Homo-oligomer: A and B are copies of this chain.
Amino acid sequence: MRNFNLSKGHTVFFNNAPRITSFAAICGSKESEGVLGSFADVALNDDMYGESTFEKAECKMLSKAISLALEKGGYTEKDIDVMFSGDLLNQIISASFAARDFDFPFLGLYSACSTMSESILLGAMLVNAGYAQRVVAATGSHFASAERQYRYPLELGCTRPPQAQWTVTGAGGCVIANDGAGVKVVSGTMGKVCDYGVTDVNNMGAAMAPAAADTIIQHLKDTGSSPEDYDMILTGDLGALGSRIVKDLTWEKGFDISSNHVDCGEIVYKVIEKEFQGGSGAGCSATVLNSYVLSKMNAGLYKRVLFAATGALLSTISSGQGESIPCISHVVQLEV
């Protein structure tokens, strides 16, 4: 029964070449000072985006990124069969409320900061199988809503420890279609939950690096490829410290990704100063992928990219109850 051409290990292969035919990103004011400034479709001057709460601003950014991805691809709502989305907020309210703005079905995900790769992976599965013609994959985050929910309200003015990262204010989305031109989604590797016992909620990079290493290695094994086969191995938001750890962990297992590893969290801010280890959040890899990376791929500058967004699956309750941080990374292979 099983079509073994379609999967091996934890990797699924897309023989019908679903394509990312359109993409868009919107970012906050601080983010626009860095690489996103030249590549994002919209850079906000006001991180409240004209709304009365951080959460509403986050939702509006996500909705805008989706609208822009449709618009840039020449699509209307009728062209879209379903949307995969999720975010960091409790009960993914940004995604659920953004979905209310669009007249197509919604399949809600939660995978923390690995939502961008999980949504592309599932979207490509549906398009490749013929279940859907065009799927939206999108996510985002907001610094202020994430701080308030996961750590402390900004008004408290708490000091951040040096291992901390800075949640990106921004959202990104794309359309995956069975027709039209664009970057192909060639395969995807489903991640397993990895927990190395890290309990420091300020050290997401260290917590998530093992999950990234695990799925990247699984992907390389399943596809019989080596790190050099990729122009870029792009992790989501490990930051500077987490990026060192993922390079070490993969190297220990015989895979040297050091020459072509890039982390969205490491490159998103112009000067990593107040942000310490760099950017994080579901919006980090969503904005970098859906602006800088896909633009460069469409321009032919990168031909093969392995995109491994990474997620820390903790909550304030789980941390408060003394639990360590289970993490996950889903991988998609993108090719021009």
Contact = CB atoms under 8 A, between A and B. Distances in A.
Number of copies: 2
Contacts of A38: none
Contacts of A192: 99, 103-106
A191 B129 contact: no
A130 to B, nearest CB: 3
A112 B91 contact: yes
B82 A190 contact: yes
Interface of A: 1-7, 10, 12, 16, 52-53, 55-56, 81-82, 86, 88-93, 96-97, 99-100, 103-112, 118, 122, 125-126, 128-133, 149, 178-179, 190-193, 195, 313-318, 321, 323, 326, 328, 330
A211 to B, nearest CB: 11
19 contacts: A1-B16, A1-B179, A2-B133, A5-B130, A7-B132, A12-B132, A52-B321, A89-B317, A92-B110, A92-B313, A93-B313, A96-B193, A99-B193, A105-B190, A105-B192, A107-B118, A107-B330, A110-B110, A125-B126
A288 to B, nearest CB: 22
A166 B55 CA distance: 29
A137 to B, nearest CB: 13
Contacts of A52: 321
Contacts of A130: 1-7
A108 B317 contact: no
Given A2-B133, A317-B89, A108 B109 contact: yes
A328 B130 CA distance: 24
A10 B126 CA distance: 12
Given A97-B318, A106-B191, A125-B131, 19 more contacts: A1-B16, A2-B130, A3-B130, A6-B129, A6-B131, A7-B132, A10-B82, A53-B321, A89-B317, A90-B315, A91-B110, A93-B315, A96-B193, A96-B328, A106-B192, A108-B328, A109-B110, A122-B122, A149-B317
Nearest to A87: B110
